[in-house]
Amino acid sequence: MWLDPRNPQLNKNGELNHLLSIEGLPADVLRQILDAAESFVGVTQREVKKVPLLRGKSVFNIFFENSTRTRTTFEIAAKRLSADVINLAIAQSSTSKGESMLDTVANLAAMQADMFVVRHAASGAPYLIAKHVGQDIHVINAGDGRHQHPTQGLLDMYTIRHYKKDFTNLRVAIIGDILHSRVARSQIHALTTLGCPEIRVIGPRTLIPADIRSLGVQVYHDLKEGLKDVDVVSTLRLQNERMKGALLASGQEFYKYYGITDDKLALAKPDAIVLHPGPMNRGVEIDSSVADGGQSVILPQVNFGIAIRMAVMSIVAGSWRG
């Protein structure tokens, strides 16, 4: 399939055809997704939590890397749109027998798939798949390596907009393991596009990429300084499974300097909200009293995440295939 190298996610009409990355999506497309999600939140609160938009469509969750939570939210979203969902944990399947990723995908496409939700440890894998599938198949990135996790970034934007209404006067802090975090990258691109004037990244030198300033963010290594007067505190999971080499002395050491506690949160604005993409390491990046406290919006994030995934799936499925 032909993909515009400048923006492989949009079709010739500028409509969202695949969701691969937040980078490169114009503000009106981001707002379209957030607005649609708002209507889907209403659906999830009804007696019948289902609408018939994707009736008869087959959505394949292809997870080359395990993630029960993300897979489950995509599965719930697809089912609430009335699609048929097929879950494939490829990590334990064909590729371990030596089949290439593209062969696996070609086989699934031959089973009349309409949509692939892809999680892969390699950055760019969903893009490669989008390039090779037929024009009637849509691809959604559910996390690729250190690159992007666009639906997580979008649900964070939804959460922020829900509580703060507007991005143009916000100060947002993203804290922790920026180096390995595709969530941080997606958040930064989304916040910038939606007009957020001040984005801070806070973390130890070893976990902040050297070139991060080129994205227009301010870098802090002192948590207390970085949290001062922020409206949004976005904590990241310390990704033990991605740590190679001695980037960090220990979880306790990290908690001492970068863990969000009530004392440190008090430095932010009194009405600041606290986000976390889950799963949480309590006592490492966040203290339980913050995670369960009045400023935490971590559980609403989960519900918004389903609505965001419903919005993305129905927008790409309905995009013009020319």
Partner 1 sequence: MNRAALQQLPQAEQLLARLLDQMKPVVGPDTGIIGIHTGGVWIAQRLHAALNIQVPLGTVDVSFYRDDFEAKGLHRDIKTSDIPFDVEDRRLILVDDVLYTGRTIRAAMNVLFDYGRPASIKLAALVDRGGRELPVAADFLGGTISLAVSQSVALTRGHDNDGEHLSFVLHEN
Interacting residue ranges for partner 1, rule: CB under 8 A: 15, 32, 35-36, 38-40, 42-43, 46-48, 50-53, 314-315, 317-320
CA distances from 38 to 83, 192, 278, 303 (A): 20, 21, 22, 11
List the structure tokens of 30.
Answer: 């981001």
User: How far apart (Å, rounded) are the C-alpha atoms in residues 174 and 201?
Assistant: 5
Nearer to partner 1, 293 or 318 (CB): 318
C-beta of 48: minimal distance to partner 1 in Å? 4
C-beta of 166: minimal distance to partner 1 in Å? 19
Nearer to partner 1, 155 or 311 (CB): 311
C-beta of 315: minimal distance to partner 1 in Å? 5
C-beta of 41: minimal distance to partner 1 in Å? 8
C-beta of 172: minimal distance to partner 1 in Å? 27
Map residue 65 onto helix, strand or coil: coil
Nearer to partner 1, 51 or 106 (CB): 51
User: How far apart (Å, rounded) are the C-alpha atoms in residues 185 and 150?
Assistant: 9
Q: Bridge partners of 315?
A: none
Residues contacting residue 283 through CB under 8 Å, at least 6 positions apart: 251, 255, 259
C-beta of 297: minimal distance to partner 1 in Å? 20
Q: Bridge partners of 59?
A: 85, 115
C-beta of 74: minimal distance to partner 1 in Å? 18
Query: Based on C-alpha coordinates, what's the Rg of the chain?
Result: 19
Give the H/E segment covering residue 52: none
User: How far apart (Å, rounded) are the C-alpha atoms in residues 60 and 7?
Assistant: 24
Q: Bridge partners of 120?
A: 144
Nearer to partner 1, 117 or 290 (CB): 117
Nearer to partner 1, 47 or 241 (CB): 47
Residues contacting residue 223 through CB under 8 Å, at least 6 positions apart: 175, 202, 257, 258, 264
Nearer to partner 1, 35 or 222 (CB): 35
Strands (E), the chain: 58-63, 84-89, 115-120, 138-144, 171-175, 198-202, 218-220, 232-235, 273-275
C-beta of 21: minimal distance to partner 1 in Å? 21
Nearer to partner 1, 48 or 110 (CB): 48
DSSP result, 162-224: HHHS-STT-EEEEES--TT-HHHHHHHHHHHHTT-SEEEEE--GGGS-TTGGGGT-EEES-HH
Nearer to partner 1, 257 or 320 (CB): 320
